[in-house]
Chain A
């Protein structure tokens, strides 16, 4: 694929367009090119997963889409408009670290974004309260983060993003810190939420399993500097059986793309 070529959904109908985006960071040992000339388009209501070896710049890419970090070159358009900074009305974020405020209860953490938006207290508590059921946190509204398990904390963080009711949710390895079993269950839970709410999701992970289980499309990045290596469409129904022959062939294909890059990433 020629560098800079658009990949993925047709740009005209795309919800998110990333075009020719490059980002370098200054470190103590000189500048590091994290993302190089990445272009991709994400369609409305798509579950797009970005996968790649550690340090390939996938989190940086997500932070740029979220408006947290400005790109050095290239443009990012959401609904055809550039995004100069974080815009929680359009884009909600979930991080690998749940990032809950330890002095707030689960309910008040979920309501945090609404509070910043200026929603009056009774309204935001009602909206957050309505989310507790689907989050499986009904009994835990008044608990503090330290009293919750890792999976629950991450669900609070996801609830905080969903409470914004934005059309786009960006998730940066949200289950990366969880154990394997919790991770699988959280994936199932996330799918059930996503099929109901049908938001545009961009999901960063380094787990093949997670990518295959969740996504309508997988974008594989190369080792640092991250470039788009390949795009894989997964037109399969949910829920998916990870043991199925169809998924196994996708898995082999995706692993073929990523293996080489992961090896490169391991070299000193």
Chain B
């Protein structure tokens, strides 16, 4: 499985190298120039304040995700476990989600300013929806027979929830939490690219604006690495959660 993946990666890099060498060196950066740029980046010679920017972005992601999980679970369970409410309000969520989320961003900047708050708000906005949807779908999966059975064997509301509802929906729920995390990361970084004074997205925009193309591509690769690391952690957490049942 690794060999064909490595092969396609190598193929892309080679094609990139060949194609980029043919173009304008200011706009097209071959991998042979990106790697030194990445090394300079990581050695903190291109952007000496990189750890600060990175730390800010990670903090924004963390805060946005914690909010998305908290609000997503709360809204999802309220709408899922009280079907009367769900029938009224769940369609509204679907309608809101159909709007391309990036149109909200300017209003978020007006509301929350150019600093971290607007990025957190945008990351939250993107991350919360898949979590709500996963909870709603998960609650629907729970078998009524199992709930009745648990009641007959003496479970009250709380233990019906912990012993039947939660384990029944675990796979769907962890899937939604993972998708929410990925979208939170997207929201925060896109928010930084669109308008900010600090953070990874700001650096990307900055390097791009100054036509420091090699640095720009190196930053994109760094972002890719961070996203992969975060998703890897999420996969591990998901596996642990599966074992818990």
Whether the Cβ atoms of B146 and A164 lie closer than 8 Å is no
Q: Write out the residue numbers on chain B whose beta carbons fall within 8 Å of the beta carbon of A68.
A: 148, 151-152
Q: Contact check: which of A87, A97, A116, A117 meets B145 at CB < 8 Å? A: A97
Please encode chain B, from 161 to 175, with 1 for each CB lying within 8 Å of some chain A CB and 0 for all others.
Answer: 001100100000000
A-B contact count (CB 8 A): 46
Q: Chain B interface residue count: which class?
A: 10 to 19
Q: Contact check: which of B145, B154, B167, B245 meets A113 at CB < 8 Å? A: B154
Whether the Cβ atoms of A116 and B151 lie closer than 8 Å is no
Q: Write out the residue numbers on chain B whose beta carbons fall within 8 Å of the beta carbon of A116.
A: 150, 153-155, 159, 163
Whether the Cβ atoms of A112 and B145 lie closer than 8 Å is no
Q: Write out the residue numbers on chain A whose beta carbons fall within 8 Å of the beta carbon of B151.
A: 68, 86
Closest to B147 in A: A99
Q: Contact check: which of B146, B154, B159 meets A99 at CB < 8 Å? A: B146
Whether the Cβ atoms of B148 and A160 lie closer than 8 Å is no
The minimal Cβ–Cβ distance linking B109 to chain A, given in whole angstroms, is 45
Asked whether B74 is an interface residue with its Cβ less than 8 Å from the other chain, the reply is: no
Q: Write out the residue numbers on chain A whose beta carbons fall within 8 Å of the beta carbon of B237.
A: none
Whether the Cβ atoms of B167 and A101 lie closer than 8 Å is yes
Asked whether A95 is an interface residue with its Cβ less than 8 Å from the other chain, the reply is: yes
Q: Write out the residue numbers on chain A whose beta carbons fall within 8 Å of the beta carbon of B155.
A: 116
Q: Write out the residue numbers on chain B whose beta carbons fall within 8 Å of the beta carbon of A103.
A: 167, 245
Complex interface residues of chain A between 98 and 149 (CB less than 8 A to chain B)? 99, 101, 103, 112-113, 116-117
| CA gap between A116 and B158 in the complex, in Å | 11
Asked whether B149 is an interface residue with its Cβ less than 8 Å from the other chain, the reply is: yes
Asked whether A66 is an interface residue with its Cβ less than 8 Å from the other chain, the reply is: yes
Interface majority SS (helix, strand, loop, mixed), chain B:
helix
Q: Contact check: which of A86, A95, A97 meets B154 at CB < 8 Å? A: A86
Q: Write out the residue numbers on chain A whose beta carbons fall within 8 Å of the beta carbon of B164.
A: 101
Complex interface residues of chain A between 47 and 98 (CB less than 8 A to chain B)? 66, 68, 86-88, 92-93, 95, 97
| CA gap between A99 and B143 in the complex, in Å | 9
The minimal Cβ–Cβ distance linking B161 to chain A, given in whole angstroms, is 13
Q: Write out the residue numbers on chain A whose beta carbons fall within 8 Å of the beta carbon of B150.
A: 112, 116
| CA gap between A112 and B155 in the complex, in Å | 10
Please encode chain A, from 151 to 182, with 1 for each CB lying within 8 Å of some chain B CB and 0 for all others.
Answer: 00000000010001000000000000000000
| CA gap between A99 and B164 in the complex, in Å | 11
Closest to A114 in B: B153
Q: Write out the residue numbers on chain A whose beta carbons fall within 8 Å of the beta carbon of B146.
A: 99, 101
Query: Given A99-B145, A101-B146, A103-B167: A66 and B153 within 8 A (CB)?
Result: no
Query: Given A97-B145, A99-B146, A103-B245: A66 and B154 within 8 A (CB)?
Result: no
Q: Write out the residue numbers on chain A whose beta carbons fall within 8 Å of the beta carbon of B154.
A: 86-88, 113, 116-117
Whether the Cβ atoms of B148 and A95 lie closer than 8 Å is yes
The minimal Cβ–Cβ distance linking A153 to chain B, given in whole angstroms, is 12
The minimal Cβ–Cβ distance linking A41 to chain B, given in whole angstroms, is 22
| CA gap between A176 and B99 in the complex, in Å | 50
Closest to A96 in B: B145
| CA gap between A103 and B143 in the complex, in Å | 13
Q: Write out the residue numbers on chain A whose beta carbons fall within 8 Å of the beta carbon of B145.
A: 95, 97, 99
The minimal Cβ–Cβ distance linking B135 to chain A, given in whole angstroms, is 19
| CA gap between A86 and B149 in the complex, in Å | 10
Whether the Cβ atoms of B245 and A88 lie closer than 8 Å is no
| CA gap between A88 and B164 in the complex, in Å | 17
| CA gap between A122 and B163 in the complex, in Å | 19
Closest to A112 in B: B153
Query: Given A101-B146, A103-B167, A116-B159: A93 and B152 within 8 A (CB)?
Result: yes
The minimal Cβ–Cβ distance linking A28 to chain B, given in whole angstroms, is 14
Whether the Cβ atoms of B245 and A99 lie closer than 8 Å is no
Q: Write out the residue numbers on chain A whose beta carbons fall within 8 Å of the beta carbon of B148.
A: 68, 95, 99
Whether the Cβ atoms of B153 and A88 lie closer than 8 Å is yes
Q: Write out the residue numbers on chain A whose beta carbons fall within 8 Å of the beta carbon of B149.
A: 93, 95, 99
12 contacts between A and B (CB under 8 A): A87-B154, A93-B149, A93-B152, A95-B149, A101-B163, A101-B167, A103-B167, A103-B245, A112-B163, A113-B154, A116-B153, A160-B153
Residues of A within 8 A of B (CB): 66, 68, 86-88, 92-93, 95, 97, 99, 101, 103, 112-113, 116-117, 160, 164
